[in-house]
Structure 1
Amino acid sequence: MSYTVELDETDQICNLKVNGRLNIYNIKEFKDIVSPIIERVPALIVDVSEVIEFDSSFIQLFISIKNYAYSLGHIFKITSHSKPILDLLDMYGLVGFFADKVVLSAAQRSEFKLNYGTSKLPPNLR
């Protein structure tokens, strides 16, 4: 496994801390861990501060989890965004979709624009 997961779960909330690499090679394994949690607990909070690799397959998975949680009336939040995650959220303009609080250092403020929608798309595609 190229990542580790630490769980702290009650009947109302699950705090999940992820360390390592989240990529196409381990997406099914991660989904198998998270899917039952989102079904049984009203809130899943994922701390990704120690994630060192995050590819577009995981963006798709997180979108799917967020939508599934919403359909159940549950909450899915991402916290403590690491640089690889900020890179993709910024690239795809998904900060607004996830609606999670993003804390940036002074240095990161100039690096990330964190568009909240489709403003990065060419005007004819908006």
Structure 2
Amino acid sequence: MESYTVSGELSIYTASNEKQSLLAFLQSADELEVNLSQVSEFDTAGLQVLIVLKQAAIQHQKTLHYVMHSKAVLDVLEMTNMTGIFGDQVVLT
């Protein structure tokens, strides 16, 4: 399993660049995980990137998991009622 860690902001200011990096990472293996523990700021643009990446993984028949969600990520997922949408285990502390 290949792993990729998103660090810093995943927001409107960084979404475009991070999306390109994540889509390139998607080509690296059939089973992938994206570690979100280092995401310091997260907004709906970041959420859109995660949705697009999950859809691309499904389209290319790859397994993609989001793991280690930071508080910033969890706050937006909870606010948008999307915590369970991705099908990944979320550990609340």
TM-score by length of 2: 0.90
Matched, 1:91 2:79: yes
Amino acid at match of 1:54: F
Mapped contact 1:69–1:75 kept (Cα < 8 A): yes
CA root-mean-square deviation: 1.2
Percent of aligned positions with the same letter in both sequences?
Answer: 32
Cα deviation, residue 40, structure 1:
3.8
**Residue pairs, 1:27-66, within 5 angstroms:** 27-66=15-54
Structure 1 or 2: larger helix share? 1
Residue in structure 1 matched with residue 6 of structure 2 by the alignment: 18
SS of residue paired to 1:96? coil
Q: Name structure 1 gaps, 5 residues minimum.
A: 1-12, 106-126
TM-score by length of 1: 0.68
- Of structures 1 and 2, the one with the larger relative CO (CA 8 A, separation 6+) is 2
Which entry has the higher C-alpha Rg, 1 or 2? Answer: 1
SS of residue paired to 2:14? helix
Instruction: Please list every run of at least 4 consecutive aligned residues from structure 1 whose deviation after the TM superposition is greater than 6 angstroms.
Output: none
Matched, 1:81 2:69: yes
Amino acid at match of 2:58: Y
